């Protein structure tokens, strides 16, 4: 009981220093998936509505999403030991 | 409504004003005659001259108008020249009349009031003369004798041909014939003169009416005197008269200077008669008659003189009496005054004496009071001095007593305190021993809790016990203060836990061991992948790279040198340091606690040693 409560408290305030990179990786992967899927869906919608079901708008949307996620995670890695702050997640 | 009521009023108001102006103008221009003529026609009556209408400013002017009107009405135009002369005459007449009235009135006023008199005499031509004339007239009316007297004074030396002898003291009084009368009436002369003189003095001082009366009286006196003189003269003439009978010439009486006018006249007539009779040779009978008359006159004179003498004597006596009375009254008054003054003086002296006495008394009282006060003060001072001396003596005695007998008590108390100190010292020793023992027990309890714990557990209670037992030992206090509060609030991990955690940390650090300084996501991924395929080092490698440091630390931890391991890990750089930060913090806390406990233990041991 005491152990769990203490760990919970520690977790709430700040991640443990050795788990810092792992967390960053978690965030990066999840944002990558979400943003690329969002871009893909936008691209599909555009292709259906405007581009007569061409393939390339879907690819472009996917690229947009993936690129955005990449950039974000890159920035978070570069920032060092500061905890991740994601607008989408929190 | 208002306007309608005002409108006629305004007309009424304006109408007379408008009428009055021309009417005034007409009257001024002499056209009132025309107006009166109109009235005359309307009334069919001769116009009343003195109608004091408001328009006619001068009533005098209205008086002659009807006449002129009539003349105008009757002869119409024929005589303009006569009318002119008539007018001129009338003008002259009025001028003279008005000026006469004006002068008369102003003279009257000038006689009444001084201010107007000044104004009139100064500014009006011939005013002064008129006023002077009237004043003179008034004066003469008041004093009818004034002119005659001046005549007499002028005429007297003219009448007298012979030389006049002026006595030495004449001039002071009117009586010139003093010496002559003195020779005749030796007794009454000076009194008379004095009386006359008194009268004169009175005249000078008295008012004009009184003056008149006095003058008249003086004249009467003089007349009587003169009659006397005349009396004397025929008497003196009696001796040469006898031969004069033979020669049939009677000597003329001579008037004296300063005689009364009546007497002079009488003498004159008598002289005339004498001359007439002497001229007539054959009127012997008349002469005799005359002589008889002279005798009679002389007899009358003597009688009169006698009566006068009596009267004079009487007057003298009354005067003397009155003088005496006066002197007596005066003296009485003086005596009363003297008495009064004396009384006042006595009263004043009494008052002064009383005042001085009072002052002296008060001063004496003051002096006495002062002396008493001073004496009292001295007494009080002496009393104070005595008291002080007494107290001093008592104190000295008490002190001596104390030093003599009570000094032994001091020694006793000193020994008692020594004993007390000894006992307290022993009790202190025992107390400190107990304390140190307890402290050691407490520290042991802390250590055991730390070592026995499977998971980190707070040890606040144990530490509080230690602190209480230490009882404000500065060293213990400092040692406890050096411990991080989180350490005893959350507890510290045991050594095994630290090693376990180090294993986890080490794997993570190895993953990030190949990262450059500012690494992005790509480099992180690369480092993760490449760290898997890296070879692990064996033994005790030299060098600063992350792998060798990790291995060395592991070795040290296994040996149980926690502080050395911490020092090794502190040498990491970059991401490796960041990842191992929490582990390092834990290790430091553990080390701190351990150090503090060691310090406390040593302190307790030291205290034990110190006591013994």
A17 touches B at CB < 8 Å: yes
Size of chain A, expressed as the number of residues it contains: 90
* Nearest-CB residue to B508 (from A18, A70, A78): A18
Lowest average pLDDT, out of A65-74, B68-77, B85-94, B204-213, goes to B68-77
> pLDDT higher for A80 or B519?
B519
Q: Which of A75, A90, A77, A89 is nearest to A21 (CA)?
A: A77
Q: Is B441 exposed, middle or buried (0-12, 13-18, 19+ CB in 10 A)?
A: middle
Lowest average pLDDT, out of B281-290, B327-336, B457-466, goes to B281-290
- Taking an 8 Å cut-off on Cβ atoms, the answer to whether A78 and B519 are in contact is yes
B504 touches A at CB < 8 Å: yes
Residue B307 has pLDDT above 50, yes or no: yes
pLDDT tens-digit map of B236-285? 444 444 444 444 455 666 655 555 677 788 888 878 887 887 777 666 77
Instruction: Give, as one character, the DSSP assignment of residue B403.
Output: I
- Taking an 8 Å cut-off on Cβ atoms, the answer to whether B580 and A18 are in contact is yes
Tell me the pLDDT of chain B averaged across its residues. 74
B579 touches A at CB < 8 Å: yes
Q: How confident is the model at residue B98, as a pLDDT?
A: 93
Tell me the pTM. Answer: 0.38
Under the banding of pLDDT at 50, 70 and 90, the label for residue B113 is confident
Residues of chain B contacting residue A8, judged by C-beta atoms under 8 Å apart: none
A84 touches B at CB < 8 Å: no
- Taking an 8 Å cut-off on Cβ atoms, the answer to whether A3 and B518 are in contact is no
Under the banding of pLDDT at 50, 70 and 90, the label for residue B380 is very high
CA distances, B491 to each of A6, B455, B496, B502 (Å): 11, 9, 15, 18
Q: How confident is the model at residue B326, as a pLDDT?
A: 94
- Taking an 8 Å cut-off on Cβ atoms, the answer to whether A70 and B521 are in contact is yes
B393 touches A at CB < 8 Å: no
B582 touches A at CB < 8 Å: yes
Alpha-carbon span B177 to B222, nearest angstrom: 11
Alpha-carbon span B132 to B517, nearest angstrom: 151
Residue B394 has pLDDT above 50, yes or no: yes
Residue B203 has pLDDT above 70, yes or no: no
* Nearest-CB residue to B579 (from A20, A74, A77): A20
Q: How confident is the model at residue B55, as a pLDDT?
A: 45
Q: How confident is the model at residue A30, as a pLDDT?
A: 93
> What is the mean predicted confidence (pLDDT) over B369-386?
96
Tokens of B415: 């020994």
Residue A44: which domain range? 20-78
**Closest chain A C-alpha to B420 CA, distance in angstroms:** 55
* Nearest-CB residue to A81 (from B456, B511, B578): B578
Which site among A77, A80, A82, A83 would you substitute to test the B interface, given the most B Cβ atoms closer than 10 Å to its Cβ?
Answer: A77
Alpha-carbon span B566 to B591, nearest angstrom: 9
Lowest average pLDDT, out of B23-32, B159-168, B409-418, goes to B23-32
Residue B234 has pLDDT above 60, yes or no: no
**Closest chain A C-alpha to B467 CA, distance in angstroms:** 26
- B61 half-sphere exposure, CB direction, 13 A CA radius: 13
Residue B101 near residue B112, CB atoms below 8 Å: no
A10 touches B at CB < 8 Å: no
**Closest chain B C-alpha to A76 CA, distance in angstroms:** 8
Alpha-carbon span B587 to A36, nearest angstrom: 43
- Examine residue A4 and state whether it is found in any structural domain, yes or no: no
Residue B339 has pLDDT above 70, yes or no: yes
Lowest average pLDDT, out of B96-110, B187-201, B246-260, B354-368, goes to B187-201
Under the banding of pLDDT at 50, 70 and 90, the label for residue B223 is low
Q: What is the ipTM of this complex?
A: 0.72
pLDDT tens-digit map of A21-54? 888 889 889 999 999 999 999 999 999 998 888 8
Q: Is A21 exposed, middle or buried (0-12, 13-18, 19+ CB in 10 A)?
A: buried
Residues of chain B contacting residue A73, judged by C-beta atoms under 8 Å apart: 521
- Taking an 8 Å cut-off on Cβ atoms, the answer to whether A17 and B583 are in contact is yes
Q: How confident is the model at residue B224, as a pLDDT?
A: 55
State the first-to-last Cα distance of chain A, in angstroms, to the nearest integer: 28
Residue B467 has pLDDT above 60, yes or no: yes
> What is the mean predicted confidence (pLDDT) over B114-130?
85
* Nearest-CB residue to A20 (from B457, B504, B578): B578
- Examine residue A8 and state whether it is found in any structural domain, yes or no: no
Residues of chain A contacting residue B457, judged by C-beta atoms under 8 Å apart: 2
- Examine residue A54 and state whether it is found in any structural domain, yes or no: yes
> What is the mean predicted confidence (pLDDT) over B353-379?
96
- Examine residue A13 and state whether it is found in any structural domain, yes or no: no
pLDDT tens-digit map of B542-562? 777 888 888 888 888 888 888
- Examine residue A3 and state whether it is found in any structural domain, yes or no: no
- Taking an 8 Å cut-off on Cβ atoms, the answer to whether A18 and B575 are in contact is no
Residue B50 has pLDDT above 70, yes or no: no
Enumerate long-range contacts of B604-607, CB under 8 Å, 24 or more apart.
B604/B436, B604/B439, B604/B440, B604/B443, B605/B436, B605/B440, B607/B432, B607/B435, B607/B436, B607/B439, B607/B473
Which site among B521, B529, B578 would you substitute to test the A interface, given the most A Cβ atoms closer than 10 Å to its Cβ?
Answer: B521
**Closest chain A C-alpha to B579 CA, distance in angstroms:** 4
Structural domain total, chain A: 1
pLDDT tens-digit map of B153-182? 444 444 445 565 665 665 655 555 444 444
- Examine residue A89 and state whether it is found in any structural domain, yes or no: no
Alpha-carbon span B124 to B110, nearest angstrom: 12
- Examine residue A57 and state whether it is found in any structural domain, yes or no: yes
Residue of B nearest to A81 (CA): B578
pLDDT tens-digit map of B524-542? 888 888 888 888 777 777 7
- Examine residue A87 and state whether it is found in any structural domain, yes or no: no
Residue B46 has pLDDT above 70, yes or no: no
Residue A80 has pLDDT above 60, yes or no: yes
């Amino acid at each position: 009981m005491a152990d769990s409560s203490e760990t919970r408290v520690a977790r709430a305030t700040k991640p443990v220093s050795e788990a810092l990179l792992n967390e960053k990786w978690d965030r990066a992967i999840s944002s990558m998936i979400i943003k690329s899927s969002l871009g893909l869906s936008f691209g599909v919608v555009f292709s259906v509505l405007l581009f007569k079901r061409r393939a390339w708008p879907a690819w472009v949307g996917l690229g947009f999403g993936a690129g955005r996620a990449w950039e974000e995670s890159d920035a978070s890695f570069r920032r060092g030991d500061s905890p991740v702050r994601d607008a989408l997640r929190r | 409504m208002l306007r309608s009521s005002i409108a006629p009023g305004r007309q009424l108001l304006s109408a007379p004003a408008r009428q009055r102006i021309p009417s005034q103008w007409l009257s001024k221009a002499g056209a009132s005659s025309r107006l009166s003529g109109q009235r005359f026609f309307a009334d069919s009556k001769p116009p009343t001259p003195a109608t004091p209408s408001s328009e006619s400013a001068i009533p005098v002017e209205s008086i002659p108008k009807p006449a002129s009107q009539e003349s105008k009405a009757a002869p119409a135009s024929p005589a303009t020249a006569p009318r002119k002369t008539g007018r001129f005459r009338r003008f002259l007449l009025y001028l003279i009349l008005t000026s006469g009235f004006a002068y008369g009135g102003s003279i009257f006023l000038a006689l009444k009031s001084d201010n107007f008199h000044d104004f009139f005499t100064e500014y009006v031509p011939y005013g002064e003369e008129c006023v002077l004339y009237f004043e003179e007239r008034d004066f003469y009316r008041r004093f009818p004798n004034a002119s005659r007297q001046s005549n007499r004074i002028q005429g007297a030396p003219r009448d007298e041909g012979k030389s006049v002898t002026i006595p030495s003291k004449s001039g002071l009084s009117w009586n010139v014939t003093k010496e002559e009368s003195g020779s005749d009436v030796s007794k009454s002369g000076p009194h008379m003169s004095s009386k006359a003189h008194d009268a004169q003095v009175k005249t000078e001082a008295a008012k004009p009416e009184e003056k008149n009366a006095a003058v008249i009286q003086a004249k009467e006196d003089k007349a009587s005197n003169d009659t006397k003189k005349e009396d004397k003269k025929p008497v003196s003439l009696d001796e040469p008269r006898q031969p004069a009978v033979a020669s049939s010439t009677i000597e003329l009486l001579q008037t004296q200077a300063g005689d009364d006018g009546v007497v002079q006249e009488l003498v004159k007539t008598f002289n005339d008669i004498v001359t007439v009779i002497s001229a007539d040779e054959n009127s012997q009978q008349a002469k005799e008659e005359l002589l008889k008359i002279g005798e009679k006159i002389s007899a009358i004179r003597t009688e009169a003189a006698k009566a006068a003498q009596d009267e004079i004597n009487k007057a003298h006596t009354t005067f003397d009496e009155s003088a005496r009375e006066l002197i007596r009254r005066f003296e009485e008054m003086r005596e009363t005054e003297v008495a009064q003054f004396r009384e006042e003086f006595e009263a004043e002296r009494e008052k002064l004496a009383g005042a001085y006495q009072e002052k002296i008394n008060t001063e004496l009282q003051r002096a006495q009071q002062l002396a008493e006060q001073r004496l009292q003060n001295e007494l009080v001072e002496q009393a104070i001095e005595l008291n002080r001396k007494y107290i001093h003596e008592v104190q000295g005695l008490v002190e001596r007593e104390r030093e003599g007998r009570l000094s032994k008590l001091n020694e006793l108390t000193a020994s008692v305190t020594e004993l007390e100190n000894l006992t307290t010292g022993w009790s202190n020793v025992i107390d400190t021993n107990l304390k140190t023992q307890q402290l050691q027990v407490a520290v042991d309890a802390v250590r055991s809790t730390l070592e026995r714990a499977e998971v980190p557990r707070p040890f606040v209670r144990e530490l509080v016990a230690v602190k209480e037992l230490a009882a404000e030992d500065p060293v213990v206090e400092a040692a406890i203060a050096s411990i991080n509060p989180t350490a005893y609030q959350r507890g510290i991990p045991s050594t095994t836990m630290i090693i376990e955690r180090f294993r986890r940390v080490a794997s993570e650090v190895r993953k990030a061991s190949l990262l450059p300084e500012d690494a992005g996501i790509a480099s992180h991924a690369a480092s993760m992948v490449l760290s898997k395929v890296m070879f692990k080092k064996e033994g005790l490698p030299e060098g600063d790279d992350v792998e060798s440091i990790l291995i060395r630390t592991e070795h040290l931890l296994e040996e149980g040198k926690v502080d050395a391991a911490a020092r090794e890990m502190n040498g990491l750089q970059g991401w490796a340091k960041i990842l191992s930060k929490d582990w390092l913090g834990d290790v430091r806390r553990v080390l701190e606690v351990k150090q503090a406990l060691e310090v406390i233990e040593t302190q307790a041991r030291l205290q034990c040693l110190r006591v013994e």
